[in-house]
Structure 1
Amino acid sequence: MSATETILPKENIPRAMVLILIVIGILGLQDAVSKLLVQTYSPFQVTMMRYWAFAAFSLILVARQAPLRQALRSKVPGWQVVRGLLLMGDIWLFALALQTVPLAELQSISLIYPLLVTLFAIPLLGERVGMFRLIAVAVGFLGAMVIVRPGGLPITIGAGFAVASSTLYALYIVVTRKVAQMDSAPTSMVYASLIGLVLSTAVGVFYWQPIWGVDLALMVLLMFTTTVGHGLMMLALSMAPASVLQPFNYFSLPWAIFLSFAMFGHLIDPISLGGAAIIVAAGLVVVARERVRKVPQIIDAPH
């Protein structure tokens, strides 16, 4: 599930931009299908089955390039394990948040992760962050407070799960930057796949419910979108640097707003939409400043 910045000799940035927009559409649909399923099935079961598809895809992909035993040779296995645990925790918490938090508001809160990455990179990576980026981070958090204001999104355990999910994902991104300096992308992918596969299955089997009919079709669709979405993301990253594609992640918000209304009849209120716009603006400022400073960018889709 990790995709670090990749620049290949034959770049095709326009095609990569189109691909990343398709990826955002596919993974937004994945979130909507997940939300449908977690109303009936445990988030742990849904996450487990999603991970089965992702792990199969990742391990087959890596095995085609080199023996898996070779990919498991990490210079920093401890950090790789931490990274896998963070990603697994992020996906579990996001699935739990999906049970109660509307899709649009959940996606808005999720977009605070680039701001958190900026903060976590200071102690974990030793990065120096200027006043301009710190102000942007503060403004972004203000946008999040607008969404959970009195009369807005209720401050429930679901909202807490959403914030915790974004926090773990930000830590995952920072740790991924750290291990990318020492391990290859296939090594990072294998560790994330195996750790997630083992953990999600170890927990998910205790929440197993039989799946039939329409729900089974939805589960197959969920596993399909997971695999195709990440496959196309890797293809996009082979055509353009992550620093170019990163801003397109923010198109996930209007897509989530549309899906939330079309599939669940929920329309985000204007004030919360304003808060979401503040988060997006602050995040774009941080991304732009990091691009100028040549901070390594990572595109990943934890949810």
Structure 2
Amino acid sequence: MTPSTAHARVDNVGRAIMLTLFTIGVFGIQDVLSKTLVQTYSPFQVTMMRYWGFALFALVLVLRQAPLRQALSSKVPVLQVVRGSLLIVEIWFFAMALQSVPLGELQAISLVYPLLVTLFAIPILGEKVGVFRFVAVGIGFLGAMVIVRPGGLPLGWGVLFAVISSTLYSIYIVITRKVSQFDSAATSMVYTGLMGLLLSTAVGIFFWQPMAWSDFGLVVTIMVTSCLGHGLMVFALSMAPASTVQPFNYFSLPWAIFLSALVFGHWIDPVSLVGAVIIVAAGLVVMARERIRRVPVPQEPSLPGRD
């Protein structure tokens, strides 16, 4: 490798990290807008309209790589349908959690998903998990318990929805790893877009209610920034491996805490913040161990409802 080549690679990694941080910032603002909307409109309606933007992005991206008919040709179509369906159900639960759970605490609970991925990879992918990672996972769950301790985050449907959302998303990630052994990223993307579009519309249409023009403007903003955010994430992943940029996704936690305080006037309490830090630390440890083991990480961009 020549010095100029090495310098270019370092520059690309730096740009990928900056793009990842910017994308997380965009997704955090989307969550603020979504949280505002679900106080008035059904989470199913908001999810449906938000997903229209992502489905458009996914189809345009796929058509630039291959004909739609070719992209739809999957060696594991049942798994692809299950995977696409899991994601939209996960987003529904995330949107319902947004109604009552503050952004900071919700983001902290959501960040448990890398730990759950480690567990679900055992039965689904047949991975072997050593004692070190098991301990890290246990410590991460302890952090989640700190957040929902007696006197902490009030136990209610919102917290349950957040936990279900993280669980479903972790299963989705593991299945994404599974199908990547058989299908291209374009095929996975088109199934994600089409299944989400069909299911979100089939359910969301029954919860439709007329929107004020100002609220419709918020939805359009979400749709536009969703396409922008996912496009930037794809660009970032073309510059650096997912394992390199993935740890920077934890920037979503302080960003969510800041936005929650700025927009909604809610500060995460100190003890819950300690729990969130424990979760992040455990997740980073698990990621580091997986990187050492060189476990493949799906190259698909992060999706609506997930920063």
Question: Which TM-score tier does this pair reach, normalised by the shorter chain?
Answer: over 0.9
Write the distance in 2 (CA, Å) between the matches of 1:212 and 1:265.
24
Q: How far 1:63 sits from its partner (Å)?
A: 1.0
In the alignment, is the contact (CA less than 8 A) between 1:246 and 1:297 conserved in 2?
A: no
Q: How far 1:196 sits from its partner (Å)?
A: 0.3
The range that moved more, 162-171 or 205-214, is: 205-214
Which residue is 2:63 aligned to? 63
In the alignment, is the contact (CA less than 8 A) between 2:139 and 2:279 conserved in 1?
A: yes
The range that moved more, 216-225 or 149-158, is: 216-225
Write the distance in 1 (CA, Å) between the matches of 2:102 and 2:174.
28
- Is 1:300 the equivalent of 2:286? no
Write the distance in 2 (CA, Å) between the matches of 1:166 and 1:296.
20
SS in 2 for 1:295: coil
Which residue is 1:250 aligned to? 250
Q: Which runs of 5+ in 2 are unaligned?
A: 1-7
Which residue is 2:20 aligned to? 20
SS in 2 for 1:65: coil
In the alignment, is the contact (CA less than 8 A) between 1:87 and 1:302 conserved in 2?
A: no
Which residue is 1:111 aligned to? 111
SS in 2 for 1:121: helix
In the alignment, is the contact (CA less than 8 A) between 1:87 and 1:172 conserved in 2?
A: yes
Which residue is 2:214 aligned to? 214
4+ runs deviating over 6 angstroms:
none
Q: How far 1:212 sits from its partner (Å)?
A: 1.9
Q: How far 1:224 sits from its partner (Å)?
A: 1.4
Write the distance in 2 (CA, Å) between the matches of 1:187 and 1:206.
29
Which residue is 2:43 aligned to? 43
The range that moved more, 249-258 or 60-69, is: 60-69
The number of aligned residues is 294
Instruction: Show CA shifts across 1:100-132 (max 9, x none).
Output: 000000000000000000000001000010000
Instruction: Show CA shifts across 1:56-84 (max 9, x none).
Output: 11101111221100000000001001100
- Is 1:169 the equivalent of 2:174? no
Write the distance in 2 (CA, Å) between the matches of 1:65 and 1:80.
19
Instruction: Show CA shifts across 1:115-151 (max 9, x none).
Output: 0000000010000100000000000000000000011
- Is 1:187 the equivalent of 2:187? yes
Write the distance in 1 (CA, Å) between the matches of 2:282 and 2:65.
39
| Within-5 A mapping of 1:1-303 | 11=9, 12-298=12-298, 300-303=302-305
Write the distance in 2 (CA, Å) between the matches of 1:301 and 1:202.
20
Q: Which runs of 5+ in 1 are unaligned?
A: 1-9
Identity, in percent, stands at: 69
* Equivalent position amino acid for 2:213 in 1: G
In the alignment, is the contact (CA less than 8 A) between 1:86 and 1:169 conserved in 2?
A: yes
Write the distance in 1 (CA, Å) between the matches of 2:56 and 2:138.
40
In the alignment, is the contact (CA less than 8 A) between 2:147 and 2:272 conserved in 1?
A: yes
Two-structure CA RMSD over aligned residues (Å): 0.9
SS in 1 for 2:39: coil
Q: How far 1:222 sits from its partner (Å)?
A: 1.1
In the alignment, is the contact (CA less than 8 A) between 1:94 and 1:165 conserved in 2?
A: yes
Write the distance in 2 (CA, Å) between the matches of 1:215 and 1:266.
22
Which residue is 2:3 aligned to? none
Write the distance in 1 (CA, Å) between the matches of 2:114 and 2:196.
23
Classify 1:22/1:251 alpha carbon distance in 2 versus 1 (closer, same or farther; 3 Å).
Answer: same
Which residue is 1:7 aligned to? none
Write the distance in 1 (CA, Å) between the matches of 2:304 and 2:55.
13
In the alignment, is the contact (CA less than 8 A) between 1:112 and 1:166 conserved in 2?
A: yes
What TM-score results when the alignment is normalised by the length of structure 1?
0.96
Write the distance in 2 (CA, Å) between the matches of 1:268 and 1:297.
31
Classify 1:302/1:141 alpha carbon distance in 2 versus 1 (closer, same or farther; 3 Å).
Answer: farther
